[in-house]
Structure 1
Amino acid sequence: MDVQNPFLYGELQEKVYMLPPPGCRRQGENVVCQLHKSLYGLKQASISWFREFSSAIHTIDFCQSKADYSLFTQVNGTSLAIILLYVDDMVITGNKEVEIKNLKAFLSSQFRIKDLGPLKYFLGVEVARSKTGIIICERKYTLDILKEAALLGAKPTKVPIEADLVLTLTGSNSLHEPPRYRRLVEKLIYLTITRPEIVYIVNTFSQFMQDPQQHHLDAAYRLLRYLKGAPGQDWARCPITRRSVTGYCIFLGNSLVSWKSKKQVTVARSSAETEYRSMAAATCELSWLRYLLEDLPVKHLQPARLLCDNQAALHIAANPVYYEHTKHIEIGCHTVCERIQKGEIKTSYVRTREQVVDLFTKPLCAPIFHTHLVKLGVIDIHTPT
């Protein structure tokens, strides 16, 4: 098929086209191939596969979650079956073994699948079981990072970053191999899936990807030495942009289920405003988790507790009045007030020295760091007792 654009690659009128592979093109020809089916590796392949899988699974009364489109659930009386899909890999679970067997039999009749047995390793995440529950970690992934950096024999450190360290744009020579630093930070970002205590420092490292310097790499290597041992306070934490850091962690019972550390998009005028923006971000995450629990289905009738160590921020949330010093705050931040009025959340004060979220917003000294780490429930299952 002749085309005007020789670099055409995508969909036209619901038809899929691609450039001819090397060796099948003549010089000067502007042609593309029309595909009768999606090929593995093309961006359309994953979309086509997801459509086909969704159509098949809906025939046996599975419902797709609106909170997470990769989650499918089936409720049949007292039985519950769950599928979590990632491209062509999936995790299947439920509360009745017979329902899981029936689901596997159906999938086998529709697709070519390989049953790997009980979940032990998924997308780099290791899964261990005990009488007290399920534990996830990325030990092998961490060791691979240390091996690539040649730090398997390095001396461990007790904390991932010094409490008084402030990273800036300048301060040392630029790296001769910037991609080396960027690859390391990208790997560390994926490691934050199971290591909440390094979220803040990894978020800081990612802000220097454009022009990484030697002191940035040295700080990253210190973090690796901390990982080897366990496979200053200003409310405007960033000295470059003066923007504060939003941090929160959410527990379901005693289990940590969600956490975040991210630089705020605007400069706050006070610590109260900083805390209020963080409360808004946590409130949005709590609302999303409520929708997810409904899909599972898990009833959560009581309001979620939202703890904050700033009395002024709590006052703003409880009294939705536009004072002179708060009227500039974005309307979206006032979702906290709305959720309080609906009875979905309940705010409470927590003393600063007991605020676990400090782990996600600033460097801490070793005693405080490890105290908060214990509260998060982070343990090393490979440490001998």
Structure 2
Amino acid sequence: MKLSIKKAAAAGLAVALGLTAAGFGSTAASAAVGDWTPNGTPQPYFIYSTDTGEVVKGNNQAGTGGTVLKYTSGLVAAPSETDPEQWFADAPAEAEDAYVFIAPVGKESTISGWSSRVSIGFAPGKRGILQPFSSLFQFPAASFAAVKSAGGDYSLGYAYTKNNGVTFVGLGAYTTVHITAGTADWTYDYPTAIVGQPPVDPNTTGQVAIEAPVAAPVNGALSLSVPTGAKATLGAAALNSSGQSVSTGTLPTFQVTDKRYVTKPGWTVNTSVAAFASGTNTLEPSVLSIAPSVAATSTSTGVTKVASLLGSVTAGTFAEAAAGAGTGVTDLSAALTLTAPLGTPAGTYTSTLTVTAVSK
């Protein structure tokens, strides 16, 4: 039997098949639309020989394996294993073009993953596809060369696109092919319907009760920890645009621990700064600017800090936790900036910063 050249040409094939009128009738049995192998194709993809008009034997059929096809074999596809003149289902409404593609398994829906493709378009007045070519030689030699050289398992089929083939719209149908490296001899997996997943035997599922005691929380204490011998040494001084001496540094990290997990009253950390002195020369505490920070190593939540404060002999708020927050460990530090007034004698000035944690 021969496939109809009239029908094949209407599908937009670029190469004339040179076939005479078909002997297949339009009333031949058709495959049902559903789930097919490979899993994910909405319709089966049966391959027909343009020389014999017969469906090609696939790997899943009874026997010793599928028919070995050549790179030059003339082939088309249909959704029926008995009627090669049956149309594939209509394309989605937004589809503007259709492509026959060959792609690595799993890349069927990714245009950029396709190894090679050829636009086959739609017949005038039609939205379906009739007899898309399945001949490997009809792919562009340049893009198919890598497939031919490497061989392996691929998906062969067609899909819908828009925006001049840039945007993927939907998958038509495809099959799995196995290509021999170098020669591009190949076989394909014959489509089989996928029956729904078998029901789960209720005896394979059981339940296990879990019972675990939880100890009551204990109210601990609020504590403050400052490293022994903690010292903030500011870096070398430099004059700013106003001629003032400026030096910067970092306050060593200190820690607030609140284990009052029952009452959770909250807390406040205050700081005060003594006057700076260098021999007989002194500076007011306000020459020191403090920018507090809460370290990411903290386990507490709900702790807030002030944006900045100036040194003062009077205690000022550094950070705090409202009632219900602040339990756990809070690591605190600060950026320090000392700006000396104009005319301040040079020297190394020292002071003391006092940290106090107070319960709310």
Pick the structure with greater CA Rg.
2
Q: Give the number of the structure whose residues are more often helix, by fraction.
A: 1
Q: Structure 2 length normalisation: TM-score?
A: 0.19
Q: Which has the higher contact order (CA 8 A, sep 6+)?
A: 2
Q: Structure 1 length normalisation: TM-score?
A: 0.18
